[in-house]
């Protein structure tokens, strides 16, 4: 019985491989992104590697929305304090394209300005007195937060 089942399974696997190897005549999948033969290398069987059915697209770099650095980008159009009250003040800011905004840690608690989905303009840790400037060049609404303090967040809306 066990032997028969083993043979049956082996036959089924063999049939499946044969069908997969053929790669034609199966028209159920109309998804154009689906490929029977992904261009990405398959994992070695038994290596524990996750094998994707679809080719893994290399993420394209997010378009730059501005420039960020500690200082030197110009006179800030707006200043935002990051205080010991664990808030950005003001929490909402508006700017024109080309404006420089500046964040300053005003108390003894360290903070950072982490923009969601925008690592290019995200600050390092800002200790007491440290500043972070961002010159925005693309209109949009940018949300940010401090990774050290839950609920410490803000928004910058950049007009054209």
Smallest distance from the beta carbon of 22 to Cu ion, in angstroms? 59
Contact flag: residue 149 with Cu ion (CB under 5 A): yes
- DSSP assignment letter at 111: B
CB closer to Cu ion out of 35 and 106: 106
Task: Decide: 8 and 14 in contact? Cβ < 8 Å.
Answer: no
Report how many residues bind Cu ion under the rule CB under 5 A.
5
Are the beta carbons of 75 and 100 closer than 8 angstroms?
Answer: yes
CB-closest chain residue to Cu ion: 146
From the list 23-31, 73-81, 104-112, 126-134, the region that binds Cu ion by CB under 5 A is 104-112
Between strands 92-96 and 153-159, the pairing is parallel
Enumerate the H helices of the chain as residue ranges.
2-22
Residue from 101, 152, 156, 158 touching Cu ion (CB under 5 A): that is 152
Residue keyed to tokens 């964040």: 103
Q: If we measure between CA atoms, which residue out of 60, 58, 59, 63 comes closest to residue 121?
A: 63
Bridge partner list, 80: 103
* Nearest distance, CB of residue 134 and Cu ion, angstroms: 17
Could you say whether residue 122 binds Cu ion (CB under 5 A)? Answer: no
| Residue 111 binds Cu ion, judged by CB under 5 A | yes
Which member of 83, 148, 155, 157 binds Cu ion (CB under 5 A)?
148
Task: Select from 1-9, 25-33, 46-54, 139-147 the region that touches Cu ion (CB under 5 A).
Answer: 139-147
Q: How far apart are CA 3 and CA 7, in angstroms?
A: 6
Contact set with Cu ion (CB under 5 A): 111, 146, 148-149, 152
């Amino acid at each position: 019985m066990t032997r028969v089942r083993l043979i049956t399974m082996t036959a089924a696997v063999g049939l499946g491989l044969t069908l997969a190897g053929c790669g034609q005549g199966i028209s159920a999948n109309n998804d154009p992104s689906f490929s029977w033969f992904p261009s990405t290398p398959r994992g070695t069987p038994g290596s524990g590697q996750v094998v994707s059915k679809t080719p893994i697209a290399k993420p394209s770099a997010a378009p730059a929305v501005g420039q960020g650095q500690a200082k030197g980008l110009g006179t800030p159009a707006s200043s935002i304090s990051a205080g010991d009250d664990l808030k950005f003040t003001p929490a909402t800011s508006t700017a024109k394209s080309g404006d420089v905004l500046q964040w300053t840690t005003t108390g003894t608690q360290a903070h950072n300005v982490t923009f969601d989905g925008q690592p290019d303009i995200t600050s390092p840790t800002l200790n007491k007195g440290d500043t972070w400037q961002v010159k925005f060049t693309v209109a949009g609404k940018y949300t940010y937060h401090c990774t050290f303090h839950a609920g410490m967040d803000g928004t910058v809306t950049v007009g054209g």
